[in-house]
Amino acid sequence: MTPLFGTDGIRGEAGKFPLDSPTAEIIGSSLATYLAQHTGRPPSIVIGRDTRESGEWLERSLVAGASGAGAKCFPAGIITTPGVAYLTRSLDSQAGVVISASHNPYHDNGIKIFAPSGQKIADAVERLIETDIHERRLHGSEKSEHPQAEPIESSEDLQKHYLRFLSGEIGAGLDLSGLKVIVDCANGASYKLAPELFRSLGASVVAINASPDGRNINLNCGSLHIESLQAKVVAEDADIGIGFDGDADRSLFVDAHGTFVDGDATLWVLANHLIKHHQLKGKVVVATVMSNIGLEIALRSLNVELVRTDVGDKYVLEELLRRNGSLGGEQSGHIILPSLSLAGDGMITSLCLLRAMAESQRTLAELTTGFQRYPQILMNVRVREKVSFDELPSVKSVVQDVQDKLSTRGRLLLRYSGTEPLARVMIEGENQTMIENYASQIAVQIQEAIGA
């Protein structure tokens, strides 16, 4: 059986299996049936979506399947992914479903399922849903005629409930008066919520890319295309720019000079802020193998350990919970603060960064001082087979030599692509010419040993 769920739910082209209407209906029915069996009562499910044109019919199909299996559905309309995670927990629902493909283009879509804790649902449940999908399709019963459930609470009420949490709890006591903020909403799920949130706390807000038409989500805007936000911050003489992706679970920033502030720099600022409040548990920050060595070195100066995981917020959260940590995230801007939310939330991250600025009376540029991003080189080598690098003596030898030379002032990451016949050589260090030379040495040895 081919797996359908990846590390971030099911994702693919809308209208094609598994993101077609019949399959969405099966997912709703399967989820509701599983929840009823494990709770002994009709479950309640929160459902939200981003601004893609396919979102409405996928939502109708999911609601039809879930309600036909006895679930009470709470459609939240257009809302962020972490908004659904919050509502699921707050409304004591048994699951939350988000219809979104995050930073992907409009023609894609996805389905993510959250447990009441705000975490993504267990892998075992995803496997059960996959089994139902394949079995029902195999027996030709992938579509049934279930009536669409009537929402018990209006979408607007649910959205306001989430905004009250952000402004009243996360933003409690935060006064943004006098601050000019540019918000790039990526024509996505935050297009109404984010400007309203920051204005409610007193900020002067200029919203850009906040006119979704179903097809312009993430189109040359948002966190994947930060250039327009940089230009707008400078042109408007703003204090900060905030860029979201399509479902607003991540955020990236621009300081008043137009300088890009990525997830690594954000972790640095928030780590310092938590340390001042004696809230950085275990003196640990969790990031992924993609975070720059500069973050590791900067945190080391504070006697804070950077713990790395595989790429994916799922793995960051698992390590944070295992260590009882306070702060983790990805270079891409997906930041997790477990005491506030187990789901990465771009608006929570933004509020925490704005609080650090307000309390310290320092600009974002000043707060990022002390973090230096090191030069990086990435080389790809096409290979005919994926042999363990430890089994290639010449590669193993040159890798050890490079690691010795880099010592604690650089980093080497050598891995195979998960989707292509490529070996990836990534090196970070203090000197661009030096690391390019090191990467070339390793690439040559890989090419000679197993090159295609």
Residues with catalytic function: 102
* 430 class by beta-carbon count within 10 Å (0-12 exposed, 13-18 middle, 19+ buried): middle
Residues with Cβ within 8 Å of 81's Cβ and at least 6 positions away in sequence, in order, are: 48, 98, 100, 102, 112, 189, 247, 248, 249, 343
Residues facing residue 269 across a β-bridge? none
Distance CA 132, CA 351 (A): 41
Check: CB of residue 242 under 8 Å from CB of residue 184. yes
Encoded amino acid at 354, one letter: L
User: Closest Cα partner for 389 from 311, 445, 429, 432?
Assistant: 445
What are the structure tokens assigned to 241, written together? 């720019």
Distance CA 159, CA 332 (A): 26
Check: CB of residue 166 under 8 Å from CB of residue 355. no
What is the full DSSP assignment across 159-173?
A: HHHHHHHIIIIITTT
Q: Which letter does DSSP use for residue 407 in this model?
A: G
Residues with Cβ within 8 Å of 401's Cβ and at least 6 positions away in sequence, in order, are: none
* Dihedral angle sign, alpha carbons of residues 155, 156, 160, 166: positive
What are the structure tokens assigned to 235, written together? 């042109």
CA distance to 27, 251, 306, 351, per residue, from 369 (Å): 48, 20, 18, 20
* C-alpha torsion 270→272→273→277, nearest 10: 130
Chain centroid to Cα 395, Å, comes to 34
Distance CA 311, CA 304 (A): 21
Residues facing residue 425 across a β-bridge? 379, 414
What are the structure tokens assigned to 4, written together? 């359908």
Residues with Cβ within 8 Å of 330's Cβ and at least 6 positions away in sequence, in order, are: 250, 263, 287, 288, 290, 291, 311, 312, 313, 316
Q: Sheet containing 305-309: give its strands across.
A: 305-309, 284-288, 328-329, 335-336
